[in-house]
Amino acid sequence: MGLLAADRPKGTTFYGARRHTLGSITFHLNSVAAASWVGTPDVLMSFLSHFDASATGMTHTYHTTAQFIPTTFDLSIQAALAEVEASGGLKPVSIRYVRFFKPVEQQARGQRYTHATIAFADPGSANIAISQGLFFDGQQVQVKKTLPEPRRCLKCQCLGANHVAAQCKSIHDVCAWCVSMHRTSECDMGPGQDLRCSNCKPHEAWGHGVADRQCPTFLEKQAQLQCRLPETKYRFFPTDDPRTWADANGEDSSRMDADKMWRVGAERVGRMVQGGRDGDGQYWRAGGMD
């Protein structure tokens, strides 16, 4: 075993590496088989020995967003995820984890549905789910590829920031709800009060907070970001299969109406909670390198 092992897939090559703001690095390999091999525990350990002692690594996952999952679905039951895989025609352990946008304990009383991130271990499984949907507790759920969103600094609330709160040079916090100079968690604004957004001009800022997914500045920055990333123009995760090269904009108008409803629905849900499992993917990432 190890990087020079005989079980290495033929032609395994590192195409390149990308360093991220928070110090992590994404390595791109020439094939799914090569990335899966590097992601196996012993090979990964051998690779990480070339980095700082605190470095950790993980394989890439393929993120999708599923809408209107019944809140009765229990993320903590592995057999339930296995049932989702089986009923969706997926191979076992192809779902690495499901995260509800809104933790169960924060869901409104009587809430029947929630949206979720579903991470897949390989692009093929993600594409099957996008194409056919999945079944949760017997209900069919639509699955879409998750598109990149502009990063927001939780201290200065700047959208499209190249820093996070821990690196923010602003001398004070900006409240995500009322624009005052305090932490959002210290805000005494109550439900139903007019929210304000520090990223929008004053006349536009009424009625929504910084985290609102319908914020005009958010939508503008998101569109700019997605224009720069070629993968966002595809409906699926592109593979060797030409059927996965379908243009995301080639959908009919009824589908676009469904998208509009989807965005309104997505606005009503909040943060994420995780129920997880391990698996292999095409790319992987090592963190903690100096």
- Least distance CB 211 / Zn ion (angstroms): 9
The residue written with tokens 């990480």 in the block is 48
- Least distance CB 74 / Zn ion (angstroms): 36
The residue written with tokens 């091999």 in the block is 37
- Least distance CB 149 / Zn ion (angstroms): 14
Give every CB contact of residue 89 below 8 A, 6+ residues apart in sequence: 128, 132
As a whole number of angstroms, the longest Cα–Cα distance in the chain is: 65
Nearest to 270 by CA among 144, 76, 115: 115
Nearer Cβ to Zn ion (143/153) = 153
Give the residues lining the site for Zn ion (CB under 5 A).
153, 155-156, 168, 175, 177-178, 180, 187, 197, 199-200, 215, 217
User: From CA 41, how far away is CA 2, in angstroms rounded?
Assistant: 10
Coil, helix or strand for 141?
Answer: strand
Nearer Cβ to Zn ion (127/199) = 199
* Length of the chain measured in residues: 290
CA of residue 262 relative to chain centroid, distance: 16
Nearer Cβ to Zn ion (141/215) = 215
- Least distance CB 155 / Zn ion (angstroms): 5
- Least distance CB 115 / Zn ion (angstroms): 21
Nearer Cβ to Zn ion (156/248) = 156
- Least distance CB 104 / Zn ion (angstroms): 27
Contact 275, 98 (CB under 8 A): yes
- Least distance CB 166 / Zn ion (angstroms): 10
Nearer Cβ to Zn ion (73/177) = 177
Distance of CA 154 to CAs 124, 157, 167, 171, 272, Å? Answer: 35, 5, 11, 13, 16
Contact 149, 181 (CB under 8 A): no
User: From CA 94, how far away is CA 247, in angstroms rounded?
Assistant: 25
Nearer Cβ to Zn ion (154/286) = 154
Enter the tokens of residue 138: 């017997």
User: From CA 193, how far away is CA 188, in angstroms rounded?
Assistant: 10
Contact 89, 132 (CB under 8 A): yes
- Least distance CB 105 / Zn ion (angstroms): 23
Nearer Cβ to Zn ion (79/166) = 166
Nearer Cβ to Zn ion (26/180) = 180
